[in-house]
Amino acid sequence: MTIENDILNGRYKPGESLNESKVASELNVSRTPVREAIRQLELEGLIAYIPNKGAIVKGMSSEDIRDIYDIRIKIEGLAAKRAASNITPAQLRELREVVEFEEFYTNKGDAAQILKLDTRFHEIIFKASGSRLLNRTLTSFHHYIQRARSLSLMDKERAKQALEEHRSIMKAIEIGDREKAESLMAQHIMNASENIEKLEDYSS
């Protein structure tokens, strides 16, 4: 959804008013789909309707992002643990390829590609967990914190550290070590959270 991505990427700032006609014109669509999108985003908590002001962007606050990381620390390790038992040969091959490409782009310092590969690494593990609920929940969380993740991975040292953490998680999943995969993933998310806390402006 374009409007949602623009909010999460920081194009629309918290407190900014969203005018249906203006947004529809920018997207070259009628006001109806824009109105429906805004209603959906209100349900998701990214937009609020204020009397006499209309739709106002709320975005993701620093507190929201901290909450997401706290929850990820608790449950993303579970996804890695299950993936260590359930991952398919095809998924494991893709995971290896992602880590190889991540190393290449980390050495080049290409933050945009690193973010894409980081996203794909986690998505493979979410899916390999075999749990639809974990997959859906964690994929949504990743989407909501995309700006914070992007800013964090622009830090070259954090990108290098994340690569090594990914490699260790992958090896644990490869050999089917459920407990190690779980603990390494939890530590990986904790390290990412601590790095993001150092950023001055990581919310939308």
The distance in angstroms from the start CA to the end CA of the chain is: 16
pLDDT for res 39: 87
Distance (Å) of CA 173 to CA 27, 74, 177, 178, 180: 43, 18, 6, 7, 8
What percent of the chain has pLDDT above 70? 97
Average pLDDT over residues 192-203: 79
Q: How many CB atoms lie within 10 A of CB 39?
A: 12
Partners of residue 104 on adjacent β-strands: none
CB 156 within 8 A of CB 178: no
- Give CATH superfamily name and number for 62-197: GntR ligand-binding domain-like (1.20.120.530)
Tell me how far apart the alpha carbons of residues 44 and 38 are, in angstroms, rounded to a whole number.
10
For the whole model, what pTM was predicted?
A: 0.83
CATH of domain 2-57: 1.10.10.10
Where does the chain hold its CATH 1.10.10.10 domain(s)?
Answer: 2-57
Q: Is the pLDDT of residue 204 over 60?
A: no
Q: Is the pLDDT of residue 45 over 80?
A: yes
Collapse the DSSP code of 22 into the 3-class scheme (helix H, G, I; strand E, B; otherwise coil) and give the result.
Answer: helix
Where does the chain hold its CATH 1.20.120.530 domain(s)?
Answer: 62-197
